[in-house]
Each structure stands twice: as C-alpha cells, then as structure tokens.
Homo-oligomer: A and B are copies of this chain.
Amino acid sequence: MDMQRFKPNRGHDAPIYLQLYRRYRDAIAVGKLQPGDRVPSVRSLASELNLARGTVEMAYQMLTSEGYFLTRGPAGTVVSPRLENLGEPGYGFASSSFAPPRSCLGADAGQVRPFQLGVPALDAFPRKTWTRLAGHNLRTMDTAAMGYPDPTGHEPLRRAIAAYLGISRGIACTHEQVFVTAGYRGALELVCRTLLRSGDIGWYEDPGYLFARQFLERAGMRLEPVPVDAEGLSVGIGQQRAAEARFAVVTPTHQSPMGMALSLPRRLQLLEWAGHRKAWIIEDDYDSEFRYHGRPLPALKSLDRDGRVLYSGTFSKVLFPGLRLAYLVVPEAQVEQFKDTANHLCGPGSILLQATVTDFMDQGHFARHLRKMRSLYATRRGYLVDALMQALGSRLHVQPQAGGIHVLAKLTNRESDKSLAAAAQSNGLAIQALSQWQIRRTSHGGLLMGFANVTEPEMAKALICRLAAAIQSQ
C-alpha cells in the first residue's frame, strides 16, 4: 500500500490526527480500501509519514471506535469486514455523505471508546497466557462441563476466590460463602432476590455509581441519597434521614466516583448501625486492587463480626469486562438462602471461562498481572493528568486519588458538566458528567475519565486537545 497518500498537510487548519482520520474514512467510502483490507500498523505508518505515534494512534482509535477499523490483536488492524453488509442505500457507501455504520453507533457495541470508564488496559492483558489456559480447558472439556453448570459458580473458582480474599483483602470465608455471578449486576440481583423486597429503603452514596443506582431503582428499591465527604459516606446523616433503612450500598476502599476511602470511625459506625438495625451492607469493592500510594485498606467485610456485610468484587477491572464474571461473599448464616435463589437465576454461565480464571489465579498469573497493572496505571494516570493540567488547568481541577482507573476533574466554575460531557461525547470521547452520578446536586460539576487505555503521553495530549476543542464553544 502507498502510505504516502495518507500524509496529512501541516499547513492545514484541521489537526493532523483529524486529517488522517478523514483520509482513511474517505478511502473506505470510495472503495480504495475494502472491508477486510489490512491497514499498516501505527508504528510503521508513524515512521513512514514522520508523525508522532500518539497522533496516528488517536486517528486509529477514532476509526476503531466508530466501526471503520477492527483491531485483531496480534493479527493487526483491518477495515471492518462488517462494513460489507452495509452497502445499501442510505449509508451513502461509496458516496461522499458517508456515515458510520449503524451497528457501531451504540454505546454497547463492545469497542472501547477513549476515556471509557470501567475498562482496564486491554493492550496490557497477557493474552498469550490466557489463550493457552483457555485452550487447554477447551480441549479437556469433560461431560460435566457440558451439562448444566453449578448455579453458585464453578467450585474450584470459588475456592480460589476465597483464598485470594483471605490473603489480599483480609476476609475470612469458605468457598461455600462465595457465589460467582454474571458481573456486579448478577451479584446485586442475587442480593435483591434473597434479602430485599420491592419498596425497601436503602442508603445510597451521593454521588455514587450510576449503573448500580439505576439497577436497584428498577428492582423497586427506594434509595435515600446519603452525601459523601472527605471520610466517605456520612453515616450520621444516613441515620438522621433514614435510620430504618433495610440496606446500605457502599464503596469503602475507593469511593465511586470521588475516590476517598471510608474512614475507620465511619466503618465502625456503619457496622454498628447495621448490627443494631439488622440492616444489610452491600460492599462494592470494585477496584480495590489498584492503589498507587499509601497502604491498601482491608475490606469493610474483614471487620464484620455480626454477619451483616455482603461483599462483592469483580474480574471486569482486573482481567477484562467481556468475561462477565464477578463474585459475592455472603454471611455464613445466609448461605442456604442464597443457594436457593441462585438455583432460580441465570448464574455465571459456562464453566470454560470460570475454569480458565481459576487456572490464571492458581498458577500465579493473576498476582503477577495485578503487580504490573499497578505500576502501569500509575504511569498512565500521569499521562492524562499532565495533559489535562497543561491544556485545561484553568477550567478543571484534577482530584488527587490513591487508586482506581479513572480520574475526576472538577470544574473550577459553575458551568454545566452535563453540557461539557455531551460536547465531548459527540466528539467520540466517552467522558461522563459527575452530576449524572449525583442524586442531589450539591457542588461544582466535574468530568469522569477512564485512563487505563491512554497508552502514551502523545495520545493523552491528542485526546485532551480534542476535548479542549469540543468544549471551547461551550
């Protein structure tokens, strides 16, 4: 392929990455590039055109997120073969009014979008090891793995999780208390169906994890917003507003999205309230694994003497979300009740992936991967924060956080974070507004950005440049 035809024009008004993006889009539109055609690697195109890798990467990422390109891991990147089926009129295929394919416009099409929250560094996942372990499990699949799987989860995985939680989170539990679930929503579903009833009142962190809030509200729960401050959930305010609540949902290690930890006095206060009122605490420990300075805190569950805490963790952030695997640890006294519910829910699916996660943990790959990710995320967080400060330091103030895979940048003035986020989103950036995560509007707005897939300083700069342009007119 003649790569020179993609060479951007430095005198041109549009940024380089955008020119590159448009040339590719046009080449596909007029049929010079066909579905399935392989495109040059970022590295080789950057060196051929004498551009920064981050610039090319940015253009490629836009093309991928909009469905023009398909990345095939080590097999390279190709023009999406799916475009082939979309040659009907209305898509303007092979015409100048070319629009991205419909199927790729949705937020859930699978492709990771720039700054998407809750997605770990997919480029750094040890695919080879994973493929080897999964391949082995696939070839040795026995008839037990073909029959109806255990709805509480694959027993060896439940044992591996119990052992891991004991060592890394200070939680003493047996595998009988561990339920493997289809993501965090599977865990919430299990709790709702076993212990709660439609109409039950629960404390919910404000601001707090948007998705779980919507899930619980759909399940008929009445959520009482309880503000978070520098020590996390304000247990006292919760008691004033709804002492009779049946449950509380908390993110004690690393509040979602603010990032602070729940202080020890608050932890004890919360446990005392729950013990006294026979209320349930749902501990969402979604990304406790990632902490870049300070000592990691043990889980709230480790202090739970009265058996009131339902502990949930997920493999979405430490492995990858496509696995759809999370877990729930329930108090010993409720194990039988939960088993009964699990028998009537969808469960965590096929044994194949569960067995592969087990091997990954048992053989030490899990611990090794976590160690690597901790230092990688500290670095990538730095790329994003530096770029943010440089380009938007006057409008945004980045909150210091000890962990997690997203950054919260608060607005320094009273402008609407929702309209900024909307402008960013319409430019292909998956940024979310803090106020969307709030139940009651209390403070300045902010922007939430995932940084795990910001692989280079140049990429961070280019993306932030795009953000700055998008919000300039706001």
Contacts and interface: CB of A to CB of B under 8 A. Distances in A.
Interface string A102-127: 01001011111000101100110101
B71 A148 contact: no
Contacts of A150: 106, 108-110
A244 interface: no
Given A183-B346, A189-B346, A214-B344, A127 B141 contact: yes
Interface in A339-372: 343-353
A143 B350 contact: no
Interface in A224-264: none
Contact of A138 (B75, B135, B185): B135
A82 to B, nearest CB: 8
Interface in A208-228: 214-215, 218
A144 interface: yes
A198 interface: yes
Nearest to A341: B218
A112 B144 CA distance: 7
Contact of A135 (B110, B135, B320): B135
Interface in A174-189: 181-183, 185-186, 189
Nearest to A323: B350
A427 interface: no
A321 interface: yes
Copies held by the complex? 2
A112 B122 CA distance: 37
Nearest to A151: B108
Contact of A122 (B111, B127, B146): B146
Contacts of A149: 108, 110, 322, 324
A90 interface: no
Nearest to A141: B73
Interface residues of A, number: 65
A89 interface: no
A348 B353 CA distance: 13
A364 to B, nearest CB: 19
Given A138-B134, A350-B323, A71 B108 contact: no
Contacts of A351: 110, 322
Contact of A185 (B110, B345, B350): B345
Contacts of A12: none
A110 B322 CA distance: 24
Given A72-B142, A119-B148, 20 more contacts: A64-B143, A70-B142, A72-B140, A73-B140, A73-B141, A109-B150, A111-B143, A112-B144, A112-B147, A131-B138, A146-B320, A146-B322, A182-B347, A189-B346, A193-B218, A215-B344, A346-B346, A348-B349, A349-B353, A352-B352
28 contacts: A64-B143, A70-B142, A73-B140, A73-B142, A108-B150, A108-B151, A108-B343, A110-B144, A110-B351, A111-B144, A112-B147, A125-B146, A131-B139, A135-B138, A146-B321, A147-B320, A147-B321, A148-B322, A182-B349, A185-B344, A198-B198, A214-B344, A322-B351, A324-B347, A324-B349, A349-B350, A350-B353, A352-B352
Closest 6 CB pairs of A and B: A182-B346, A110-B144, A349-B349, A146-B320, A146-B322, A122-B143
